[in-house]
Chains A and B, each alone.
Chain A
Amino acid sequence: MVVQQKLNLILLTGRTIDQGVGKESGKGTKLYFESTTICYMDEVDMKAIGLRNNDHILVTSPEGSVVLRAVKHPRGAMPGMIYIPYGPWANSICSTDTTSIGMPSFKGTPVEVKPAPNQPILTLQELLRKEFGR
């Protein structure tokens, strides 16, 4: 199998139980950080760009890019999609288009995914500093 450089996929964001517990425990907790900087991918898609579980990836959309940890989706196939739990990391690449009804496009943003073996995942503070200067 030829390993590709990058893949064009559809971004879905949403809830996971870990992210839910994390947000209730506190946004500064390790659990919250670990559960919101994760990116679930289809097994086949991961293989296509030579990823193994917990490899870092760079996800880029027209809104920006973010480094996350790729993890194989545990149940069933979801080819062509990636799933990132809600949080500041996911939101830095979500489409802002509200289609004039107030709701940004949290699901369905087209993104590009490529391996980023040497790039670190930013902490919450680092992310806020990078994006908003605070």
Chain B
Amino acid sequence: MSKINSVTCPVCGCLCDDIELTIADGIVAQVKNGCAMCEAKFFSHSNEHRLKTPLIRKDGKLVPTTYTVAVRKSAEILAKANYPILYGWSSTDSEAQRVGVELAEEVGGVLDNTAVVCHGPSILSVQEVGIPTCTLGQIRHRADLLIYWGCNPWSAHPRHLERYTAFTDGRFENSEWMSYLNKVKAAAGRKKIKSLERKGILKHRREREIPTVSDNKPTEILDKKGRKLIVVDVRKSMTAEIADYFLQVKPGKDYELIQGIRALVRDQELDVEEVAGVPVEYLQQLVDAMISCDFGVIFFGMGLTQSPSKFRNIDVAISLIRDLNMRTKFAIMPMRGHFNVTGANTVFTWQSGYPYAVDFSLGYPRYNPGETTVVDVLLRQESDAGLVIASDPVSNFPRKAVEHLVKNPLIVIDPHMNATSLVGDIIIPSSIVGVEKEGTAYRMDHVPLPLKKVVDPPKGVLSDEEILNRILKEVRKIKSNRLEAA
């Protein structure tokens, strides 16, 4: 039995690097400090859903094969293809991503990562208006106003609050953990009273109504000392539950709401009673809190990027931050999902100039989201082969896009059986990056962190990097043979 400290968790964009693992008999026996997803990930290396041998589809059924055959067949598919797509990349290390760009260039394919279905629109907006941002520690030390907009860290980035924002002690700002605990206690107390009421022990008071937006006045929070936590969302999420103030926006009206706030930040008057379901009077109070803070930050998620208006939502959100920086210090940051989707954007950019949706079919990197984005390529039915690595598009893409992906030869590299490997033609198992292979990942704020190898992969299972290198080598061999033959 051995203990390993300071392990980086390969699940979400938080990349918590304080995980303590206990290893017994070559498997992870105990996970300390991690969230539920972290535990599930570290335990998953030994579960029954693991892929251990390469599979190849014969007569409609997946049958076992060897790495040599799987690699050769994959290389043949890619070398033969006219317009293959190479998709995924967000749950592997930057070392594998580097080889991926080279492979995509070699086969003249479309290289895309999962940002296309999460923060692709954010990248488009950053390319339009830039982004005033910072690393997470800067927020921990300085931020006294924290706004989560269209994101739900309690569920998607469970330790974000405790490590980087409201519930952490910084040099200039303190943790709000105690005040949160008091609030929880108070809520528990209220529950108790209600239960007593139900049992008839206490006299029934007034029926508590479901709070609507207009009940939710922001005044109290503005008088509060210390860090303030605000959540803006279309529904009351887990995070909204713990926030000092929850602002419920009507679905699809984020753009309108942000523009309303921008107008108020610029000291303009709004000649309407409410914006996106929120009374202007409340907005005014929110804006006052924004302007009077020392350091504010907005974190945003899929609530902005995936709802109607998409990148225009981010455009105005960043523009709001630009405006606010005329009055005080403000930052904005996308809540990146996969643990190394930021790394995929980073590596693609330094090698090819573009963060995602890179088309190498003309021999040089070309980028035109909407055209070279993988979902569009699939919907237009243009690709003639696919390689999917470290992601599960069959679970995450709309059905019509998947239909075309499945129609053509499909290579899948993944440690686990998932929806995509169930429908693929060649399935190549890989070791789990950050559990069975060391490497590098980039946190949501672009801070690179080392991933550790804590256990051995199943016997004979190769890493993503190694598999890609072998495919690349094989592709080059096929191409040079072809040249010689000609």
Contacts and interface: CB of A to CB of B under 8 A. Distances in A.
Contact of A102 (B40, B251, B369): B369
Interface residues of A, number: 55
Contacts of A104: 117, 375, 397-398, 401
B402 interface: yes
B121 interface: yes
B302 A106 contact: yes
B79 interface: no
A27 B251 contact: no
A98 interface: yes
Contact of B44 (A25, A99, A107): A25
Interface residues of B, number: 72
Contacts of B124: 101
B435 to A, nearest CB: 11
A111 to B, nearest CB: 13
Chain B interface helix/strand/loop/mixed: helix
Interface string A44-69: 00000000000000000001100000
B403 A91 contact: no
A39 to B, nearest CB: 13
16 contacts: A20-B37, A27-B416, A28-B418, A43-B210, A64-B399, A75-B240, A87-B395, A88-B395, A96-B379, A96-B401, A101-B373, A105-B308, A107-B302, A128-B423, A132-B403, A134-B406
Interface of A: 10, 12-17, 20-29, 43, 63-64, 73, 75-78, 80-81, 83, 86-88, 91-96, 98-108, 124-125, 128, 131-134
Interface of B: 11-12, 36-41, 43-44, 47-49, 60, 116-117, 120-121, 124, 152, 154-156, 158, 210-212, 234-238, 240-241, 248, 251-252, 302-303, 305-308, 310-311, 337, 357, 369-370, 373-376, 379, 392, 394-403, 406, 416-419, 422-423
Given A102-B376, A132-B402, 11 more contacts: A15-B155, A21-B40, A76-B210, A76-B236, A78-B234, A78-B236, A100-B376, A107-B251, A131-B402, A134-B406, A134-B423
